[in-house]
Amino acid sequence: MHLSTLRRVLGRLALTAALGLTAAGLGTAASTAPAAAEATLQQVTGFGSNPGNLAMYAYTPTGLPAGAPLVVAMHGCTQSASDYFTHSGWQKYADLWGFAVVFPQTNSANNSSSCFSWFDAGKDTRGKGEAASVIQMVNTAEAGYGSDAHRVFVTGLSAGGGMTANLLADYPDVFAGGAVDSGLPAQCATTLTAASGCQQNNQNLTPAQWGDKVRSSNPGYTGPWPRVAIWQGSADYTVYPVNGTELRDQWTNVWGIGQSASSTQNLTGGTTLSVYDDSAGRPAVELYSISGMGHGLAVNAGSGTDQCGSAGAYFLSSICSSYYTARFWGLDAPAGGGTGGGTGLPAPTGLGVTGTTDTTVSLSWSAVTGAASYDVYRNGSRAGSTTATGYTDSGLATATAYGYTVVAVDSAGSAGAASAAVTATTTGYVPQCYTASNYAQVTAGRAHQSGGTAYANGSGQTMGLWNTFVTHTLKQTSPGYYVIADGGC
């Protein structure tokens, strides 16, 4: 058989096994986690109305303090939460750097190959289906583990990567960052029949057209946007390499930056890292292209800090993607940012909010002896640097809460410990109330329905039957977030 023909045949077989877009049963079964690993991964029930019919599993290191970050990790097709927990390496860094990990799990009732429905507009859009179920998991984790709502991240492989991109577009107000591994651009396909075209073909869209798919997923939202890592194998014949380029185009456009890399770097495993900085010189989008790698999540078994995971079905030995993703998000830093206090410089004290507008937050703090400058962190990512003891952060979203810390930096560029965090909320948003039938609330986009029951968007509160006879008052407490307020507004 000619090599090109063989690749097409193998590509179709891999497509069946990895993304579940044709009949089930043709793919290789995913591996099963050892009993020891199973004991550390706990199922969480009763996490909400669960309109997407998903299961929630979570891993929390022993002694995890309140205020730690939260990572959502989504498996690929024919896999389970247990598989992803066992092979991906996220447990290692949760233990090492101290954060919780939620592993959503879909099932064959949702999709014959247990794929997340990244191609179904009724399941992968804001307030609907599987996307809404994942947000309910995030809300449950924040309440149960005391997770830092400003440092919530999402990652996923293949179909889980496609759903990750959709979640970042649907909920940029929830996720500070994401990583799409061998996945698809946000809202590339909105039907099952269009999915294979997205996986295998260039869609011939401009960066602005790709960016519009993100912006239209949450109309009216203007930022800040999640920082996005993209992982793509050059020999992937299931989700073709063009998807990595399209993801790069999409998220650089959302950030308002160009498609020319600010810097490039060669990493282990034949990996080329291209970094795209925002206007402040901080990495906003990173593209990791792995030469010769097929369809799967990049892992690199070993005991080194930058080694993780284990090989298995769709877990491919190359480079530890979870390590580089976690560092990109700043999970290796202490709470709120910083680099660990290796200089001995103490944490700045007296951090406070001195003023807010609809797009800015002004801060001040006490001077630290020996500091040459100060790094300011917003929601765990570096927002800027100053030699003064005050800073104004600009370009923010209206009526949005942000968490800030400050780190002192010495003349050699080494950072000390992070300050205590403060929260500031920009002005400009006035809560509004709407009284209408459940049918009208759904039609107006303030609620959604699943199985004939209406749910408030954002909060997911149950409103009763989706019809014109049941009436509720919904209060919009923040953009896109509604709660039932029948007792008064």
Give the residue numbers marked as catalytic: 158
Closest Cα to residue 157, out of 293, 342, 337? 293
Helices (H), 386-462: 438-443
274, 230 contact by CB (below 8 A): no
156, 164 contact by CB (below 8 A): yes
The residues, any chain, with a CB within 8 Å of residue 302's CB and separated by 6 or more, are 308
Phi and psi at 138, nearest 5°, equal: -60, -45
3-state DSSP assignment of residue 414: coil
d(CA 242, CA 200): 8
474, 480 contact by CB (below 8 A): no
Helix (H) or strand (E) holding 5: helix 3-19
Question: Which two three-digit tokens encode residue 226?
Answer: 């999640």
How many other CB atoms are there within 10 angstroms of residue 108's CB atom? 12
d(CA 171, CA 39): 32
Q: How would you list the strands of the sheet with 447-450, edge to edge?
A: 447-450, 453-456, 462-465
Alpha-carbon distances of 411 from 6, 59, 169, 389, rounded to whole Å: 59, 40, 40, 16
**Scanning the structure block, which residue is given the tokens 């202490």?**
334
d(CA 137, CA 50): 9
337, 382 contact by CB (below 8 A): yes
3-state DSSP assignment of residue 472: strand
d(CA 151, CA 156): 17
Helices (H), 275-384: 321-328
**Scanning the structure block, which residue is given the tokens 């976690």?**
326
d(CA 227, CA 381): 9
d(CA 305, CA 268): 14
Orientation of helix 207-215 relative to helix 159-170, angle to 10°: 70
324, 229 contact by CB (below 8 A): yes
Strands 283-290 and 271-277, bridge-based pairing: antiparallel
